[in-house]
Amino acid sequence: MHRFFIPRESLRDGQVEFSLEQAHQISKVLRLHRGDEVAVLDNGGWMYNVELSEVSSGLVRGLVRRRHLAPGEPRTKLTLYPALLKSDKLEFVLQKCTEVGVSAFVPILSDRCNVGGSASDEKLGRWERIIAESAEQCERGRLPRLHPITFYSVACEQARGLTFIACERGPRENLRREIATRVDGRGRRPFALNLFVGPEGGYTDAEIDEAISRGIIPIGLGPRILRAETASVVGATLLLAYAGDLE
């Protein structure tokens, strides 16, 4: 069943009106017709089975037939802090980590980033569309939040909860053990996690020291050196797996 995220205000009195972009996709790309059923998500955790009642290139409406909690959302709220990469590589990170189950992204500007620290509204809009399309495809119940680009030092200061930073070398903790030691007496794993992943070339020694001084835990992601975009996907997967959200 095709899925669409909609603003809550588009859902009224048991009816749904889709945006113009969605109307075009439904009528012209997917070629759906009156009577076909789609899934609608309100980004609040609810999913609606909707029967299309009116379909044209400029207007698509539907009737809610059933409401239920959306599956696919992890219990663990993982915020990923990926360093800015070249556009296509960062888009890969946003897409794949949305599929894995990341709840929020905070792109950061660190010393070795070889791209500018600003992004146009057009680029931010594209990133948000990539996240939305990926969330629809992989049956997420909520859209991961995309935060503004943030300087590394500010991100280190603002990160709250159990926070890790991926390092290629130097003293590092075992990620599985770090998660296991924080399971409480009732078997509950940490609820909120953060992960910093560096740019091509990694973080500088000074950046690692700054993170450690703020209580951020350095970890490794295995015996091989990973590309920056690969490290984000692997790191997010390991954290959610050790937190019990990929079981």
- Does residue 188 sit in the same domain as residue 102? yes
Same domain, 51 and 92: no
**Distance between CA atoms of 50 and 19, rounded to whole angstroms?**
15
Residues 122 and 145 in one domain: yes
pLDDT tens sequence for the chain (247 residues):
899 999 888 898 899 999 998 999 999 999 999 999 999 998 888 899 999 999 988 899 999 999 988 887 888 999 999 999 987 899 999 999 999 999 999 999 998 887 754 567 778 889 999 999 999 888 888 999 999 999 999 999 999 889 999 998 777 888 888 888 877 555 667 788 999 999 998 899 999 999 999 999 999 898 888 999 999 999 999 999 998 888 7
Q: Is residue 247 a part of any domain in this protein?
A: no
Q: Are residues 118 and 165 in the same domain?
A: yes
Q: Are residues 112 and 145 both part of a single domain?
A: yes
Q: Are residues 33 and 84 in the same domain?
A: no
Query: How long is the chain?
Result: 247
d(CA 176, CA 31): 47
Domain count, the chain: 2
Domain boundary among 69, 104, 123: 69
Is 36 exposed, middle or buried, given 0-12, 13-18 or 19+ CB atoms closer than 10 A? middle
DSSP notation for 117-174: S---HHHHHHHHHHHHHHHHHTT-SSPPEEPPPEEHHHHHHH--SEEEEE-SSSS-B-
Task: Look up the pTM and report it.
Answer: 0.85
What residues pair up with 66 in beta bridges, in sequence order?
49
- Closest by CA position to 99, among listed 47, 129, 144: 144
| Residue 28: its H or E element | none
Residues paired with residue 16 on neighbouring β-strands, in sequence order: 11, 62
Do residues 100 and 41 both lie within one domain?
Answer: no
Q: Which residues pair with 49 in a beta bridge?
A: 39, 66
Domain that holds residue 56: 3-69
Final residue of a structural domain among 25, 46, 69: 69
Domain end position, chosen among 15, 46, 69: 69
Residue 86's domain is classified under what CATH number?
Answer: 3.40.1280.10
How far, in Å, CA of 73 to CA of 76, rounded? 9
- Do 15 and 83 sit in the same domain of this protein? no
Residue 8 and residue 11: Cα distance in Å, rounded?
5
